[in-house]
Amino acid sequence: MNGVLLSALPLAPILTPLGLGLLLLLPMRRGWRVSLALASALLTLVFALLLMNATLGSVLVSELGGWKAPFGIVMAADRLGSFMSTLAAVCGVFTVWLMAAQPDPVRERHHSFALTSFLFAGVQLSFLTGDLFNLFVAFEVMLVASYALTVLGSTREQLREGFRYIVMNLSASALLVVACGLTYGTLGTLNFAHLAQRSAALGPNTTVTAVGVLLLIVFAAKGALFPLGFWLPGTYPAVPPATGAFFAAVLTKVGLYALIRVFTTVFNQDPELPNTLLLMLGAVTMLYGALGAVSQREWRRILSFTVVGSVGYLAFGLGLNSPDALRASLAYLAVSVVVTLAMFLIAAVAERASGTRLVRARGFIEFLPLLAACFLLCALTVAGLPPSAGFVAKFDLVRAGLEGGTTLAYVATASALLSSLITLYALLRVWSGFFWGRHPVSEPVRRVRWPERLPAYLASALVAALALFAGPLLGYARGTADELGSNGHYILGVLGDQPLNLPDRPKGDEVQEPEDGP
């Protein structure tokens, strides 16, 4: 691939869903709309995979308008950004597939396919942008699309939960704008690489630490860390199953990605306070998620609390601030995204087959034996039991916690172990309640077509594949953690090795007066 194509590659996963999303606004038949949406999701995945391959050992930068960083807007893809881009693109394909398999004339008439494409574009922009203000823009693109998808349908539950979701995220976005202003006022730049350079030159500084903590609060709200994640367990079950699967698998991980980016690449000179906060929030969030899962009786409400718990594990690993913990967190991140996707797709089939959102239906192993096996595999993965990929990632996290050597690290590790046991109990209770036993003759079993079931089975196969290929996954995570451990690689890739020279301000005398004609 030549240099021009490589420099444009970070833009491709963003522009593809954005451009094809605009086309989806045009009036057309459903078959054309579905084909276009699927093509958009698949093309985004292809570009993300190309990007992941191209960023092994290098940082790809797209300079918009030819303006170099830090003076212009740049998209910067390193191993972390392209990794997240690929995970989101995989989830995007499954989401569109399920939307295509479950026709919803009302929502489709109000452009649900186009809104989903805009959501994908915002998520990709979040992972590939190279500066803080454009991260805010990416959040807004992503959230505006998600607001519309949340309330599309206008049921009472959607409006109630959507209101909380919108208010919470608008408040976090307002704080992010304030944080951007304070960051620019303190360091004179918003480009990630330039921020890293300037904050390192400044050394440990109270103002920079305060800005970092403010950003931590914003991203903790976006990532649904306790107590800022109260909106999540009600919002995700209120949206249609396909949309809910993407929300659950990806949206909270955008906040966690931002935390990783800011506290490894940008502000890493004074990590004590942010790490302490992350460990505390992570420990409480893990327990909150596990106990919340036990307390619920509906499929997607239970699974939403497991999403909250998974966010706690990621905060716990990031707060430990060691290379091994970061590697384990990145591996767990991939496992968490894929298994959450699979669980929500399984829940979609289960709810459709039983005609209820409750897990107390009994006896469905007779009608859906493969689905029962898939759920059991995913439950073991979420709980972190062998031989699942969840065990590999959680074992590394717990080991890193025990090596942390502080009281808080030990408390957080104990919280991680206890939360895993409670989560296992909650999910096995779902399995025994829905699949085990004899199905009551009086309750009908609805037929679920293969195109609706297949995404759940294939996503579960991906969960199994993560266990089979745990070695390569940990190897990739180790390489990414090593790259994040020293931000020099990212800074060099974005800013180059030449000294920064501010372009001269236009003086106005460059404009030549037209010569008088003969």
pLDDT tens per residue, the chain (518 residues)?
666 777 889 999 999 999 999 999 999 999 999 999 999 999 999 999 999 999 988 899 998 888 888 888 999 999 999 999 999 999 999 999 999 999 998 899 889 999 999 999 999 999 999 999 999 999 999 989 999 999 888 788 888 888 888 999 899 999 999 999 999 999 999 999 999 999 988 888 899 999 999 999 999 998 899 888 888 888 889 899 999 999 999 998 999 999 999 999 998 888 889 999 999 999 999 999 999 999 999 999 999 999 999 999 999 999 998 999 999 999 999 999 999 999 999 999 999 999 888 888 888 999 999 999 999 999 999 999 988 999 999 999 999 999 988 999 999 999 999 999 999 999 999 999 999 888 887 788 888 999 999 999 999 999 999 999 999 999 999 999 999 988 889 999 998 877 666 655 555 555 555 555 44
- Structure token digits, residue 36: 């276009």
How far is Cα 190 from Cα 228, in angstroms, rounded to an integer? Answer: 26
DSSP conformational letter for 496: -
User: Which runs of consecutive H residues, i.e. helices, occur in 296-322?
Assistant: 299-320
Distance separating the N- and C-terminal Cα atoms of the chain:
52
Q: How many CA atoms lie within 13 A of 93 on its CB side?
A: 20
Distance of CA 192 to the CA centre of its chain: 19
Q: What per-residue confidence (pLDDT) applies to 1?
A: 62
Residue 2 makes CB contacts below 8 A (sequence gap 6+) with none
Q: What per-residue confidence (pLDDT) applies to 160?
A: 87
Instruction: Please classify residue 434 by burial: count the beta carbons closer than 10 Å to its beta carbon, then call 0-12 exposed, 13-18 middle and 19+ buried.
Output: buried
Q: What per-residue confidence (pLDDT) applies to 52?
A: 94
Residue length, the chain?
518
Buried b (16+ CB within 10 A) or exposed e, 384-394: beeebbbbbbb
Q: What per-residue confidence (pLDDT) applies to 64?
A: 87
How many helices (H) and strands (E) the chain has is answered by: 22, 2
Buried b (16+ CB within 10 A) or exposed e, 118-150: bbbbbbbbbbbbbbbbbbbebbbbbbbbbbbbb
Q: What per-residue confidence (pLDDT) applies to 517?
A: 46
> Nearest to residue 119, comparing CAs of 310, 262, 250?
250
How far is Cα 73 from Cα 19, in angstroms, rounded to an integer? Answer: 19
Q: What per-residue confidence (pLDDT) applies to 405?
A: 81
